[in-house]
A and B are shown apart, each in its own frame.
Chain A
Amino acid sequence: MRRELDLTAVTPYADHMGDGLVQMSFTLPVPYSLAARKAALELAGKMGFEDPEVVHYEQLTAGYTYFVMYGRCVQTVDFSALRGEGFDIEYLSEDEIDRFAEEHIGRRIVVVGASTGSDTHSVGIDAMLNLKGYHGHHGLEGYRAFETHNLGSQVPNSVLVAKAIEVGADVILVSQTVTQRNLHIHNLTELVEMVEAEGRRREMILACGGPRVTNELAKELGYDAGFSKGTYPNHLATFIVRELAARVSAPR
């Protein structure tokens, strides 16, 4: 069964095109037994997998069983529809970003970053802004194109907004661990509202990052972009220089 790739109906690939085969692993909080194996098969069926198969299972510790399974996914996605602005971004390298900024903006871009409200984690902001960066990718501090101000963690929104105004920020970058609790969301929306209340919303690019932040969530929160796991500093920097250049060429 060899099928042509159909971009309007993409499904996982393992041995041949369109087979939909998925490998997954999970742990069930039940003792290692045939009943546990049966439970895993039943669960995979309920997840929507066809022909589920347990290829490996073992006791993790007393009362817990670990499974590796195969299953056939019968769902497809229309990849051809996922085009347009926001999806066709090609990330620039550090050198390309510095050159692009020099050509289109002609001055250093000021970025202020913080973890807002009660969030004690500044890991995401540090990775994006600090020279050290992560995985061998410089943070924005190391670029010629950027002047960065990292305010750290647990920064009240009013202080963040005041600093952004003081240094003439082009970009405010915040990170927040978003959970289903309203408090975290409120911290993020309050920042946007405060920038509006100060009459600066059109002057500043607002970007938020966090483990669960998608573009869809960023849109609801009122941000210009959202960044999640797997974002490197040059991804963020590419967005910033392109967005700023677009604003410079077509002011509203």
Chain B
Amino acid sequence: MGLAKNTGKTVTLIVLLQELGAAGRTVGVTSVGRDGEEHDVIDSRIEKPRVRLLSGSLVATTDDLLRASGIPHELLERTAVRTPLGRVLIARLRGSGAIEVAGPAAAADVRMVSDAMLAHGADQVLIDGAIDRRAASSPEVSDGLVIATGAILSRDPAEVVARTRDAVELVRLAEVGRGGDDGLALRAVAGRSLLLAQDREPVELEPRFVLTSDAAAIGRLLDASPEARRLTVAGALPESFLDGLLLALRQRRRELAVVVADPTRAFLTRHGPGWYAAQGVQIEVLSEISLRAVTVNPVAPRSHTLDSAELRALLRAAIPGVPIFDVLHPEYRGAPR
């Protein structure tokens, strides 16, 4: 998953493919966007790296792109998934070569083609993200996540670090009450939006309340449940709701924990979860994402370049507990396994 375009998702994918290939692993590849295209879709002056797959690899991409690659292959499945670039097929390559990968967009379909590639013999499936889309990083789809960040976010290294830290904080939102009674009780009501108070009947929110309500409506809800300490949200948690909630809570000098299914359901753009927690809104998740690594692209195409070692050192200081790599740096020695 990238934090923006041109943060180096495809380069990270290519390096992972090389390392897994050298280790003799059979890899399946798909992309929620497209990968390995020759030029950037927004700024055609930017040349993109090509994705090369080894013979024996599995791929979920469209009929047109598979044919255009010219790589001999065995067709395994013709899925019902249609994209703007054609129908998605699953194939086993019978030769090596460069290929453009464009698989399903919907998270459930990404999971479906990944499962199919595993069933057809892939040891591991790599799912490439697109732009800043996060849905495929949901634990419902993938087992682990690699985040790509880079100089494209800002000319100021401190700003790159701050925005990366916020994104990582969001991804690493902790699982609520794992294993405890609390967690079990919350999982039992997953898929419903409820205001919960100790020893009280839960209050069910109106349909679409979280998508549309302002501070006044949220205030009325809070006033009806003075004891409430937790809110479960069935679907998306937009920033507009958090803004209204903060205001309503401040007026009432209250605090509230908000529980979402997983980090991909929370839409935070201005502040990270730490900021909201400090303001009295703790965001929790029912399923957490396993963040495996952060990769850094110190180059912003057609703009500026930051110092790779310095940027990585700053990121390490701000984001403990996650390996941070620049996969194109001469010092890079491969991901630990």
Contact = CB atoms under 8 A, between A and B. Distances in A.
Interface in A177-213: 178, 180, 182, 185-186, 189-190, 192-194, 196-199, 201-202
Given A178-B42, A219-B105, A84 B135 contact: no
A62 interface: no
B130 A221 contact: yes
A222 B236 contact: no
A6 interface: no
A198 B81 CA distance: 20
A90 interface: no
Interface string B123-137: 000000011111100
Interface of A: 81, 84-86, 156-159, 161-162, 165-166, 178, 180, 182, 185-186, 189-190, 192-194, 196-199, 201-202, 214-226, 243, 246, 250-252
Given A84-B63, A185-B5, A217-B41, A202 B34 contact: no
A250 B82 CA distance: 11
Contact of B84 (A81, A197, A226): A226
B83 interface: yes
Given A190-B267, A201-B108, A223-B84, A196 B135 contact: yes
B107 interface: yes
Nearest to A186: B132
Q: Which of A192, A197, A198 has the most CB of B within 10 A?
A: A197
B211 A161 contact: yes
A220 B131 contact: yes
Contacts of B41: 214, 216-217, 220
B304 interface: no
Interface of B: 4-5, 32-34, 37, 41-43, 63-64, 67-68, 80-87, 102, 105-109, 112, 130-135, 207-208, 211-212, 235-238, 240-241, 264-265, 267, 269
Contacts of B132: 182, 185-186, 189
A161 B34 CA distance: 25
17 contacts: A84-B63, A85-B86, A158-B238, A159-B211, A178-B42, A182-B132, A185-B5, A192-B135, A193-B133, A193-B236, A197-B236, A202-B109, A216-B85, A219-B33, A222-B32, A224-B83, A252-B80
For the complex of A and B, the 3 pairs showing the least CB-CB separation, nearest first, are A197-B236, A162-B211, A215-B84
B105 A222 contact: yes
